C-alpha cells in the first residue's frame, strides 16, 4: 500500500504535524498615528512586521531591562519629536494610540499618504496591494 499524508504509520501519530508559534495580532494599521509609551515621540505607521525583522545588532543595542520580546508585531514609523523627524522601528508593547487628532509633521508623509481624516492617514492608492 502506498504511503499517503492521510495515512500515518501507527508508530508516528504526530508525523507531518508542525507546531506553529503563536503570533500576536497587530493592534495598529498602516496610517494610524501612535505615540511611544516611554519616550516622547509620535508617528504614523507606514509598515508592519508580524514579528521582529531587524538586525541582531539593533536588538542587542536595546538595554536588556527594556528590550521587547521578538514575537510580537513591530511597526515602522515616520516619527517626530520636538527636535527632529526620523524613521523609528517600535514593538507593539511600546505603542499607544495617539488621540490628539493632530497630524504628524514628517517630510515623507506626502509621498506615502494623502489625506489626514479622523486621526489617521489614507495610504496613496499606488502603494496599496
Question: Is-contact 31 123, C-beta < 8 A?
Answer: yes
Residue 95 bridge partners (DSSP): 36
Q: In terms of Cα–Cα distance, which of 26, 29, 114 is closest to 77?
A: 29
Residue 96 lies in a domain: yes
User: CA angle, 82 as apex, 79 and 88 as ends, to 5°?
Assistant: 20
Question: Is-contact 73 49, C-beta < 8 A?
Answer: yes
Residue 118 lies in a domain: yes
Residue 6 lies in a domain: no
**pLDDT number for residue 63:** 93
Residue 117 lies in a domain: yes
CA 38 to chain centre: 17
The model's pTM is 0.80
Taking only the tens of pLDDT, the chain with its 129 residues reads: 443 444 444 454 555 666 655 667 999 999 999 999 999 999 999 999 999 999 999 999 999 999 999 999 999 999 999 999 999 999 999 999 999 999 999 999 999 999 999 999 999 988 766
Residue 24 lies in a domain: no
Q: Write out the residue range of the structural domain in which residue 46 sits.
A: 33-127
**pLDDT number for residue 23:** 62
Question: How many domains are there within the chain?
Answer: 1
CA separation for the pair 77, 27 (Å, rounded): 14
Residue 18 lies in a domain: no
Amino acid at each position: 500500500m502506498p504511503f499517503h499524508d492521510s495515512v500515518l504509520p501507527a508508530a508516528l501519530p504526530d508525523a507531518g504535524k508542525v507546531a506553529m508559534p503563536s503570533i500576536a495580532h497587530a493592534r495598529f494599521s498602516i496610517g494610524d498615528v501612535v505615540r511611544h509609551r516611554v519616550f516622547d515621540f509620535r508617528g504614523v505607521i507606514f509598515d508592519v512586521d508580524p514579528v521582529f525583522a531587524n538586525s541582531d545588532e539593533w536588538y542587542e543595542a536595546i538595554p536588556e531591562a527594556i528590550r521587547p520580546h521578538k514575537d510580537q508585531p513591530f511597526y515602522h514609523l515616520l516619527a517626530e519629536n520636538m527636535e527632529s523627524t526620523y524613521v523609528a522601528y517600535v514593538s507593539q508593547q511600546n505603542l499607544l494610540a495617539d488621540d490628539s487628532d493632530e497630524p504628524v509633521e514628517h517630510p515623507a508623509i506626502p509621498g506615502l499618504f494623502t489625506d489626514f481624516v479622523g486621526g489617521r492617514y489614507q495610504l496613496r492608492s499606488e502603494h496599496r496591494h
